[in-house]
Chain A
Amino acid sequence: MFRNNKVAWLFVLPALTFLLVFKIWPIGVSVIESLTMTSFTGTKSFVGFENYEYLFKHDPVFWKSFSVTLFYSIIVNPLIVLTSLLMALLLNSSHFFTKFFRTVFFLPAAISFAVVSVIWMIVLDPYNGLANSFLTMFGFKPQPFFASPDQALWGLILLNVWRSSGYWMMYFIAGLQNIPETLYEAAEIDGASTLKKTFKITLPLLTRTISFVLVANTAFNFLSFAPVYIITKGGPMGSTNLLMYESYKSAFVNLDMGRASAITTILLGIILVFSFFELRFTRARFEY
Chain B
Amino acid sequence: MKKRSLWKTLILFAVLGIISLFFLIPLIWVVASALRPASPLYEYANPLTWKSFIPAEPTLENFVHIFVNLNFGRALMNSLFVSVSTIFLTVLVASMAGFALAKFEFRGKAALFTIVLITFMVPFESIVIPLYILIKQLRIDNTYWALILPGVANGLAIFLFRQFFSEVPSEIMEAARIDGASWFRIYWRIVLPLSVPAIVTVIVMVFMFQWNSLFWPLVATHSSRFEVVQVAIAAHRSTENTSWANLFSSAIAGSLPPVILFLFLQKYFVRGISGTGLKG
Contact = CB atoms under 8 A, between A and B. Distances in A.
Interface in A160-184: 162, 166, 170-171, 173-175, 178-179
**A-side binding surface: helix, strand, loop or mixed?**
helix
A70 interface: no
A72 B108 CA distance: 41
A40 to B, nearest CB: 19
A273 interface: no
B67 interface: no
A201 interface: no
A121 to B, nearest CB: 8
A208 B280 CA distance: 6
Contact of A12 (B112, B134, B248): B112
A110 B122 contact: no
A22 interface: yes
A4 B23 contact: no
A23 B274 CA distance: 24
A223 B13 CA distance: 36
A16 B12 CA distance: 50
Interface string B203-225: 00000100111110011000000
A136 B215 contact: no
Interface in B100-156: 100-101, 103-109, 112, 115-116, 118-119, 122-123, 125-134, 149-150, 152-155
Interface stretch (A25-33, A46-54, A146-154, A276-284): A25-33
A170 B273 contact: yes
A225 interface: yes
A114 interface: yes
B62 interface: no
Given A22-B131, A33-B133, A120-B26, A14 B126 contact: no
A180 to B, nearest CB: 10
Contact of B12 (A95, A121, A129): A95
Given A87-B19, A128-B45, A22 B126 contact: no
Given A3-B105, A19-B115, A174-B274, A122 B30 contact: yes
A175 B278 contact: yes
B172 interface: no
Contacts, number: 274
Contacts of A257: 129, 133
A244 B125 CA distance: 8
Interface in B136-183: 149-150, 152-155, 158, 170, 173, 183
Contact of A26 (B115, B131, B158, B237): B131
B59 interface: no
Nearest to A244: B125
B23 A105 contact: yes
Interface stretch (A57-65, A74-82, A96-104, A185-193): A96-104
B132 to A, nearest CB: 8
B72 interface: no
Contacts of B105: 1-3, 8
A106 B262 contact: yes
B80 to A, nearest CB: 15
Interface string A1-45: 111110111011011101111111111111001000000000000
Interface string A122-145: 110000111011101100000000
Interface string B79-112: 0000000000000111011011101111111001
Interface of A: 1-5, 7-9, 11-12, 14-16, 18-30, 33, 87, 90-91, 93, 95, 97, 101, 103-108, 110-115, 118-123, 128-130, 132-134, 136-137, 162, 166, 170-171, 173-175, 178-179, 205-206, 208-209, 212, 219-220, 223, 225-226, 229-230, 244, 247-248, 251-252, 257, 260-261, 264, 267-268, 271
Given A33-B129, A123-B26, 19 more contacts: A11-B97, A11-B104, A12-B100, A14-B92, A22-B131, A23-B119, A30-B129, A105-B19, A107-B23, A115-B230, A122-B244, A122-B248, A136-B47, A166-B23, A225-B125, A226-B215, A248-B219, A257-B133, A261-B130
11 contacts: A1-B170, A2-B105, A8-B104, A8-B106, A90-B16, A95-B9, A105-B19, A122-B248, A130-B26, A133-B45, A271-B126
